[in-house]
Amino acid sequence: MNVEARLATLIGPAAGRLHTARSRNDQVALDFRLWVKEELQKTEQMLTGLIAAFLDRAEEHAESVMPGFTHLQTAQPVTFGHHCMAYVEMFGRDRSRVRHAIEHLDESPIGAAALAGTGYPIDRHMTAKALGFREPTRNSIDTVSDRDFAIEFLSIAAIAGMHLSRLAEEIVIWSTPQFGFVRLSDAFSTGSSIMPQKKNPDAAELVRAKTGRINGSLVALLTIMKGLPLAYSKDMQEDKEQVFDAAESLELAIAAMTGMVRDMTVNTARMKAAAGSGYSTATDLADWLVREAGLPFRDAHHVTGRAVALAESRAATLPNCRFPICKRSIPTSPTRSTTC
């Protein structure tokens, strides 16, 4: 209405024709789709930047050994480059979801009017093309009552936020003195008001917290929409606040994380030293017994378990412990040596 009033001051009474064959319902649906589409395109670009940051670090640390974890316990040695590539896969899936969402919403609502379409001889394909959409929507009732595109955006934001939060948690853990795997510069850290030695990874912690906010927006909009009959209801005006807030949070989180990935200093010596802790090569020893001694894996598993127990009793690592149990425990093979 404000646009129409402003147009009237510029061109006169002809501005009154602007609302012909239109309703607030299809115009709001149009504007919201255009906004979400633009935001998705921006998110795709930002995810591409984050993926590029991880690819650079992965290439840089393709041979930097670190401990791999399950249950947050040392499992097997991996490389930091391999670990970085896990996040390339995660954020790559997020980017694919973004692209699919753009494809899903790429339909123009204009012409649906209030809910029943219009009797005027309009060309919806022409307006769809002019507005940058692939095609017009097909059902006028669904068009004005649909907010799937907004919910899908929030779902994507929530999943991407979850990935960002997992990464943030790792950065928080890795930057502790107990781990010391990475160090963030002052651009992404803050000190304590009373403890001068502290260097807190505040940027990572805030990314972790933003995920809860994004999740809340998704649940809020799902709850708003779940009880609405067709077609339009005023409840639906609550959709904007949730989407705008989640979009702002997601943008901030991706930008901050991209900066942290490029900023952090990796302590390769500390990672390599930690990679051998917790008898992380036990699985490799079991596999060696299968390959070289011809043992069934279950037997090799038992032998290796006894070797680990012996090493623990001697407060030694696997490479530095001599095992008298080998010849007793390993069945003789006509083709395999049983010497450890």
CA distance 331 to 322: 19
In this structure, are residues 54 and 95 in contact, taking their beta carbons and an 8 Å threshold?
no
Q: Is 71 a catalytic residue?
A: yes
SS3 assignment, position 110: coil
24/110 Cα distance (integer angstroms): 10
Catalytic residue among 96, 192, 333, 337: 192
Distance CA 239, CA 249 (A): 16
- SS3 for 221-260 is HHHHHCCCCCCCCHHHHHHHHHHHHHHHHHHHHHHHHHHH
Contacts of 292 (CB under 8 A, 6+ apart): 336, 337
| Residues 329, 299: Cα–Cα separation, whole Å | 9
Backbone angles phi, psi at 182, to 5 degrees: -135, 160
CA 179 to chain centre: 24
3-state secondary structure of 336: coil
91-97, long-range: CB < 8 A, 24+ apart: 91/47, 91/50, 91/51, 91/54, 91/160, 91/163, 92/51, 94/47, 94/156, 94/159, 94/160, 94/163, 95/44, 95/47, 95/48, 95/51, 97/155, 97/156, 97/159
Please report, for residues 48, 81, 187, 194, the alpha-carbon distance to residue 60 in angstroms, rounded to integers and kept in the order given: 18, 7, 22, 37
313 is an active site residue: no
DSSP per-residue letters across 161-200:
HHHHHHHHHHHHHHTSTTT--EE--GGG-B--SS-TT--B
Q: Cite the active site residues.
A: 71, 192
